[in-house]
Structures are given as structure tokens and as C-alpha cells.
Structure 1
Amino acid sequence: MTELPTKKPLFSAKPAMPSRLADAVSDAIAAALFDGRIVPGEPLPPEGEIAREFGVSRPIAREALRQLTSAGLISTQQGKVARAKELNGEPLEKIYGYAVRSSVKRLQEANEMRRVIETGIARLAAQRRGKAGLAAMERALADMREGLGDPAAFTEADILFHLGMAMATGNSMIRVQMEGMRSVQREVSELFSRRSNRTRSDWSATIDRHQALYEAIAAGDADLAEQKIIIHFEAADIASLEVADELGSRGKGA
């Protein structure tokens, strides 16, 4: 008698404590997403099939999918199968956005976080010099020059530049972190643009700082890249936070 082939499990299911069944199921599905067994856009098995594979109830499987949806790893719609999403920084961006808009203190903390993180990113980008990242940085510089004097266009170009720097590291988790910090970049850039004394030479100096940082990374000089990004933060972001401080003081006096 010919034996039927056994279907290979999609997930690496592990025994779990009853109180943590949903967590165990979501962890196993997340592992399949991260290691490429399920690619972005691919549908997940139906809820019932997930429940059978893990030996749990449908409500447990449903809760696991809800957790993954909240984390931004899958998308679900009423009456449709859940699908894997490309890993991105959207959940972080929402959290940071709420934080930096809540108070000047949180904005200062978020900007301090950027300084710490991006200094390391600049060094790694210079060491690895991923082509796609360098190309994004070049495109961002061109967009900055084209959008000179236009705060909205300049902000988007600035965000692309820093994302390109993260991409140049070749590290997907660093890219996700940079995507998450876009809301911080937008808030700081908007504050910087509010300065009444900002001149065309100010805009040009900002571009020059980005150009110098790009050149250091493209040349593979990690020490110089670190130096240039520190200069960038000192010249640009601290000035923005001075505006934020002023706005905060006005708010307290109102």
C-alpha cells in the first residue's frame, strides 16, 4: 500500500502553557514571516487550519492573528484571508508620532534617540555602502536642491536621505527603525522651517551637510561619516529644538 505524502507543517509549533497559547501561536507565525517561509503578500492559512496545526481553539488562533495585525506583520479584512505584510516601521512611526506631538520633552527625547542611533548607522553605512541605499541618498540630495525653500518637499527629501543611509547598512532591522523615526524627522524639520530668520543660505548649508555626510559614507570612511552626522545634528536639530523650547514656554504661559 502506497503511503500518502505527509504535509510539511508551515509553522514551527511548540508546546505552550495554556495561558500563553495565543502568544505561542503568534510567535511561531511571526518566525515564519521573518525567515521567509511566508513572503509579503502571501495569504496565511485559514483560521481553522491554523487552529488545527497548533492544536488550539479557533478563538486562540483568532487572537494570535489579531496580535500579528496589531504589530503590523499581517493585514486582515473582514471576510478575507490574512496576508503577510512587508516588514516596515509603520507601528513604530505611529508610537513616536504620538510621543513627539505630546510634549516638547518627548520631542527632545526622541531627537536624542535619533542622535544616538544614527551615529552608529552612519558608521555601518560607510563600512557596507549598499548600492540601493547610496542611490536613495543621491536621489534625496537632488530632491533637496529641487525643493530648496519648500518646507514640505525638503522634509520628504530629508527623510529619504536618512532612510537611504539606513538601507546602505544592508540591515533590515535598521531600515525598519529608521522608517519608524520618520514622524520624529517630520516634526523636527517642520519646527526648523518655522524659524523666521531662516534664509536661503540656511537651506543651502543644510544640503551641504547632507552632501558631506553622503561623500564620507560613499568613500567608506566610517570615522568621517560619524563626524559629519554629529555636525549635522548640532547645526540642524538643536536649532529646531530651540524653536520647540520657545513654543513650549509660550504654551506654559498661556
Structure 2
Amino acid sequence: MNMSKPIIEKSTLSEQVRNYILNVITTQQLEPGARVPSEKQLTETLGVSRGVVREAFQALSILGILDISSGKYPRVQSLNSAALETIFNYSVVTQQISASQILSLRSTLEVHSAVLAAQNGTEDHFSRLRIEMAKISEVFGDHQSFIYHDARFHMILAEASGNPLYALLLQALRVPLEKSISAGLHAHDIHDRRQQIIDVHQAILDKVCQRDAEGAALAMQKHFSSAINALIIEK
């Protein structure tokens, strides 16, 4: 091996290639979309096989650090919830955390998110929230459509907060909850609660659009203590 090349210990090739790539991203302060060294460049620079480099690329892709879909040149991935979704899903499936525990965390996040949305949201955010509110009312009774538009409503609030971490965590937390919510919706007759559910969403919308941060927090707190949360079935 050429002594001028970085030293690679044979026992942990893939891990060390992964760390090398992470170091390149860090030291060069690469931004999302920027290219990292290609497979060919890494094999030549590090003196390892293409298979080892591909394994490192795959590991970083799973972690949400690299986008390897473009082929020849992997790129730095934009912030996404893929890795967190995997962790939360695995934790729920293996019964290490419960849907109610995730809901509790989500409640804390969303109350703060509603406050920030009232303070930082734009007219575009408010317009999109109104569209989703109309859809929530329109599709009530169609459980899958309701879950879809409810998710969009809350994601727009998170985006409106101005803090990308709220949207990131909310997306990761919603995934393991949706199956439980769906099961609960199918197991109960919720038509008698229709107006209550719609009203609590409307209250959140109104307070956020009025830039009433305190009112938005109270409305969101009411949402998470309302009857719909009793529909979540523990696994």
C-alpha cells in the first residue's frame, strides 16, 4: 500500500471509509446537494475495493447523510427524517416505546410548534393551512384521507414554526402513530365526535392565523387532550 495514502485497517474497512467520507463533508463544510468523492476516487485514494466503498455509501444513505440515487456521484442529503423514522418504528414494533409515549412527545413538540407558527408563519403557510382545514372537514369519515390531511395540517404548522427540527421530528413521530390512529378510527364510531374534532382543528387554525401565540398553544393543548386521542390503540 502506498504510504502516502490514508491508513486503512483491514478489520474495519467499510466503517473507516464511512468515517473518511464524513470527515470530508465536515472539513470541507459541504452543503446539501454537494458531491462527495466518487466510488472511483475513493478506491484510488484509500486503496480499497469498490464493494467496500459501496457498503460505506449504503450505510450513509440509510442514515440519511448521503443521496446515492444519482449514481456516479453521491451527494450530501438534505435534512430528512428517514433514520429517525426507522428508530421510532423499530422501537414501537419491539415494544420498547408505546404509541402513548410517542403521542406525549408529539404533544409537547406541537404546542411549541403552534406558538412559533403564530409568530413566524407566512401568508402562504396560512393559506395552505386553510386548504387542509377544508379537506379535513370534507373527507371526515374516510379514515385514510382524514389521516392524510390531518398529517399535512400539522406538518404545515411545523414548517411555519421556522425551525426545521420541528418538521423533522414530527414527521418521524407521525409514522408509527398513523397505524394506531387508523386502527382506532376503524374500531370506533366517531361520527358523533365529528364537530368536536373539526372545531378543535379550526380553533388552532384561527389562533395561528390571528398570530395569537397564547391562544394557539391553548388550542393545541385542547386538541391533544380531546376525545380523538382516546382512539389510539396500544399495541
Answer yes or no: same fold by TM over 0.5: yes
Aligned pair partner of 2:22 in 27, 36, 43: 27
Give, as a single letter, the amino acid of the residue that structure 1 aligns with 2:31: R
Q: Which moved more, 1:117-126 or 1:162-171?
A: 117-126
Q: Distance in 2 between matches of 1:170 and 1:116?
A: 17
The answer to whether 1:153 aligns with 2:145 is yes
Deviation per residue, 1:76-135 (Å, 9 max, x gap): 369744244432222322332333344495212111111122122122212211444333
**2:3 — aligned with what?**
none
Tell me the distance in 1 between the aligned counterparts of 2:41 and 2:124.
Answer: 39
> For 2:230, which of 231, 239, 249 is the aligned residue?
239
Q: Deviations over 1:50-90 (max 9, x none)?
A: 466xx644457555423321112323369744244432222
- Residue matched to 1:99: 91
Task: Return the match for 1:37 from 20, 24, 31.
Answer: 31
Residue type of the alignment partner of 2:169: Q
Q: Are residues 90 and 207 of structure 1, via their aligned partners in 2, closer, same or farther at CA, if it must alter by over 3 Å?
A: farther
Q: Give the match for residue 112 of structure 1.
A: 104
Aligned length: 224
Task: Give 3-state SS (helix, strand or coil) of 1:194's partner.
Answer: helix
Q: Deviations over 1:167-205 (max 9, x none)?
A: 101222222212212213413421431343322x41232
Deviations 1:204-241 (CA, angstroms, capped at 9, x unpaired): 32121111111111222221111111100110453124
In structure 2, do the counterparts of structure 1 residues 25 and 219 end up closer, same or farther at CA, with 3 Å as the change threshold?
farther
Structure possessing the higher relative contact order (Cα contacts under 8 Å, 6 or more residues apart): 2
Residue in 1 that maps onto 2:211: 220
Instruction: Quote the Cα distance in structure 2 between the aligned partners of 1:32 and 1:186.
Output: 39
Amino acid at match of 1:90: A
In structure 2, do the counterparts of structure 1 residues 72 and 37 end up closer, same or farther at CA, with 3 Å as the change threshold? Answer: closer
TM-score by length of 2: 0.77
* Residue 69 of structure 2 is aligned to residue 74 of structure 1: no
My pick for the range that moved more, 207-216 or 177-186, is: 177-186
Residue type matched to 1:235 in 2? S
Stretches of structure 2 lacking an aligned partner (at least 5 in a row): 1-5
Structure-2 separation of matches of 1:221 and 1:26? 46
Distance 1:32 1:144, change over 3 A: farther
Quickly say closer, same or farther: Cα 1:22–1:46, change in 2 above 3 A.
Answer: closer
**Which amino acid in 2 is paired with 1:164?**
I
Within a 5 Å distance, the mapping from 1:1-254 to structure 2 comes to 21-22=16-17, 24-31=19-26, 37-39=31-33, 43-50=35-42, 56-58=46-48, 62=54, 64-76=56-68, 80-103=72-95, 106-199=98-191, 201-241=192-232, 244-245=233-234
